[in-house]
Amino acid sequence: MNLANLCNAVLFQFAWFACVLGGAAGSSLWGAGAVTSLAAFAALRDRWRSDVAFALLGAVVGLGLDTLWIQTGVLDYGGAALAPPWIVLLWAGVGLTLNHSLGLFSARPWLGGLLAGLSAPLSYLGGERLGAVSVPDPWLLGFVAAAWFAVFTSAFAAARSFSARIAAVPAARSWRNRPPGRFLLPRLRRPWAAVAPPGDTAE
């Protein structure tokens, strides 16, 4: 794991605790600030467009899934009928890791999906210990694990598809790959190249 991916992983762990502890305190502002920091870091990377897409998709999937768990009695977010904002922000943060710290699973989506499914019960039980969510029946978290396996396997496969598409497109000419002088000054035509030698003048 390179330094950028390590920073991404650290920022996500910070976002996880900020979202969960903020949720336990009844505030989404902690999570919003942490996820914003994660997004700002991702914006400095080359794949920020797909990062935005994954973050938005993660928020939508998280809203749908956690609302489903509320309605079916698997989870209880203090009597809320819909997934609270802090868990939606956390899902958006997950989307911002797919191209970075979790990018190694894009080569083996099923493995990443399996590990995600196994970690799902631990994640929600950890959130329960911190006071952010209640799990009436821990055995029902098996449904959450199965859903996470499907969602993350698909997400890692999508990340692999994005990576392949980006690799197939020639690198764009931008300030990142220009020599320093080319960024500040336009290319000047050499003055001697504009004057033809006397012997080369057409008759």
Average pLDDT estimate for 18-30: 96
Task: Using pLDDT thresholds of 50, 70 and 90, give the confidence band for residue 185.
Answer: very low
- Give tens-digit pLDDT for 59-104: 999 999 999 999 999 999 999 999 999 999 999 999 999 999 999 9
Answer positive or negative: Cα dihedral of 123, 125, 126, 131.
Answer: positive
Task: Tell me the C-alpha distance between 138 and 69, whole Å.
Answer: 12
Terminal-residue alpha carbon distance, the chain: 66
The set of residues, in sequence order, having a beta carbon less than 8 Å from that of 65 and lying 6+ positions away, is 83, 147, 151
CA distances from 48 to 58, 95, 110, 165 (A): 15, 11, 25, 15
pLDDT digits (tens, 9 = 90+) for 45-58: 778 888 999 999 99
Q: For position 83, what pLDDT does the model report? A: 98
Report residue 1's pLDDT band, with 50, 70 and 90 as the boundaries: low
For the cut 50, the answer to whether the pLDDT of residue 180 exceeds it is: no
What's the whole-model pTM score? 0.80
pLDDT at res. 49: 85
Q: Are 3 and 45 in contact (CB under 8 A)?
A: no
